[in-house]
Amino acid sequence: MAMTTATAISVQRRPHWWQQRTLSRFLRHRLALIGLIVIVTLTLACVFGPYLLPHDELTVDLRARFSPPLTDDFYLGTDPLGRDITSRLLMAGRISLLVGFSVMLISTAFGTLIGVIAGYFRGWTGVVLMRIVDAFLAFPSIFLVLVLSAFVKPSPFMITVIIALTCWMEIARIVEAEIRSLRERDFTVAARLAGASARWIMFRELVPNAMGPIIVAATLTIANAILLEAYISFLGYGIQPPLPSWGNMLNSAQQYLTNAPWLAIVPGITITLAVTSFNFIGDGLRDALDSRSDLQ
Amino acid sequence: MGRYLIGRLGQSVVVLFLVSLIGFMILNLAPGGPLSQFALTPGMSQADIQRLAVQMGLDRPLIVQYIDWLGRLLRGDWGESFRDGRPVLAIIVEHLWATLLLMGTSMAISIVVGTLVGIAGAIRRYSIFDYLATVGAMVALSIPTFWFGLVAIYLFALKLAWLPAGNMITIGDGSVLDYLHHLVMPALVLALVNVAIWSRYMRSSTLDVLHQDFVRTARAKGLPRYRVLVHHIVRNALLPMITLGGLQLPTILGGALVAETVFTWPGMGRLFLDSIGYSDYPVVMGILMLSAIFVLLGNLLADLLVALADPRVRLA
């Protein structure tokens, strides 16, 4: 009797095709895949594209100023100096993507180092390090980046260092939390009993086991770094002309918004596309690397 | 409760001390130190600069300078602007309320919209709405705020002419309606990112609560669906959102700076950028310190509210 009631309750309307979890997971991963394809294509275009285009990114052609997209062989139009936007966009991509990747490498390495030390040596070392992380997190990152970039000569290298300086805290936090739980696990205790040094345990035992969250955070850091570079270059404190970056291409766009909206639209869409792709990849990696994500 | 409070307060004081140390270091990091500004002034000799350094106490050891600077900071003396010699704190306070108006409006919009979208997504998990909200939030997080502002200006101010392209008031007007008219676009543009963040967290927070025992009990008692939703699920799901609100403060402040630039909104962010342009370091430092204090106080307040609302935190 009880059995039949239970069966009766469990009979539900069959879920529609879009309600099935497998499908939604597949879709999310497909987005990550699309993101990866976009990034690879964009990178290849930025590396090889400029050699194939009819105009280079610095040639000024005052007769062709403000040409809208698809004028002659200016596929995406020209800027206020008559420079070809297509080739500027691709050359800018080299800088912006390079800054993004470099920031990711520097801040992930630094953040992981701080996080591992803080998580492994609890007590005063850990407390002091994590309070420093908190202190850096209290400044809105764009404020900090702007102040620092106003002080230094804004070369692409310095911009990278400055952005990295404001991007390592999140990773340090994630790694610290991860290490704190890993250091109590049996394999760590076993390594310690076997006489392994603290350095060995930290970098050979703990860090490899925390690699999943680190990779995810690193991917999202690229997205963040590209956005930050765009912000400060737009405001005029980032990559300096004539070197193009996606941010500084937008620098003069507001001025000519009425008559030449493509100046704003083309780089803006490219930034959004690149950042969205990295965010999708990060999200896909999170699903792939973290078995718990299935429950969420 | 008292013990928790004191511990939390002590932590904030330590962080605040570190914040001041970072701030002081940045100020002295300026090439040539805080006096580099005067080195550019024509007719200023090396001897003049030396004399100024002695006069301003910059020849003393750094640690002495730091203690002196911190002491004056605590007493409310934040220095004078290089630009017009007025007290830094007064200049900042003048611009502060415009920023607070913009941030407050935008935060209110994003909390309401984000919460609703998050709840709807959690209840109808894996529906088309949930899927679109998820993807939409991810795209919204990736759009540069200033660019979204430019697009909005192009569409709604230049093409459709529905809304003004910038500034806070029309000169000669300044009625409440005029303020609102100018506020709509920057507040909505600034809200976009926060709606995205808020809805994601609200969704997962609601999902966490949805399958807990007390919700099942409430349903089993035969309570109406909306009652379970509002009184049991949403109330509990909102708790972690208080903490999130505190943690989002730096992002919102940073976003306000960018939005103020695009929409020529006369707030703290604009003042910050102008001051950087003029190498007006006392004002720059003042804003940097104030925003950090603001963020720390916000986090502290959020933790307090959670402790007040959730007895479990006090015991932990």
Residue B222 neighbours by CB distance under 10 Å: 7
CATH of B94-309, one of 2.60.40.10, 1.10.3720.10, 1.10.10.10, 1.10.150.120: 1.10.3720.10
**% of chain B surpassing 70 pLDDT:** 90
pLDDT in tens, B200-258: 888 888 888 888 888 888 888 888 888 888 888 888 888 888 888 888 888 888 888 88
pLDDT in tens, A178-217: 888 888 888 888 888 888 888 888 888 888 888 888 888 8
pLDDT in tens, A33-82: 899 999 999 999 888 877 877 777 777 777 767 777 776 776 777 777 76
pLDDT band at A9 (very low <50, low <70, confident <90, very high): very low
Q: How far apart are CA A291 and CA A12, in angstroms?
A: 28
Q: What is the DSSP letter of A254?
A: T
pLDDT at residue A295, rounded to an integer: 41
Residue B155 forms contact with A (CB below 8 Å): no
In a mutational test of the A interface, the residue from B9, B15, B200, B211 whose CB has the highest number of chain A CBs within 10 Å is B15
Residue B26 forms contact with A (CB below 8 Å): yes
pLDDT at residue A52, rounded to an integer: 77
Distances from the Cα of A258 to the Cαs of A10, A92, A245, A263, B166, in angstroms?
Answer: 61, 24, 23, 10, 14
Would the pTM of this model clear 0.95, i.e. be above it?
Answer: no
Q: Say if residue A242 is preceded by a cis peptide, omega within 30 of 0.
A: yes
Q: Which CATH architecture has domain A28-48+75-288?
A: Orthogonal Bundle (1.10)
pLDDT at residue B239, rounded to an integer: 82
Contact B31 A151 (CB under 8 A): yes
**If you count residue pairs, one on A and one on B, with CB atoms under 8 Å apart, how many are there?**
139
Residue B34 neighbours by CB distance under 10 Å: 20
Distance in Å, alpha carbon of B243 to nearest chain A alpha carbon: 14
Average the pLDDT over B33-39 and give the result. 63
Residues on chain A touching B18 (C-beta within 8 angstroms): 131-132, 134-135
Contact B19 A257 (CB under 8 A): no
Q: How far apart are CA B73 and CA A61, in angstroms?
A: 54
Max mean pLDDT range (A226-240, B42-56, B295-309): A226-240
Q: How far apart are CA A264 and CA A195, in angstroms?
A: 61
In chain A, what are the domain boundaries? 28-48+75-288
Q: Which of A27, A227, A230 sits opposite B131 (nearest CB)?
A: A27
pLDDT at residue A27, rounded to an integer: 64
Residue at A30: amino acid letter = R
pLDDT-wise least confident of A47-61, A107-121, B60-74 = A47-61
In chain B, what are the domain boundaries? 2-74, 94-309
- Three-class SS of residue A261? coil
Average the pLDDT over B10-17 and give the result. 85
Residue with tokens 């730091």, as numbered in its chain: B66
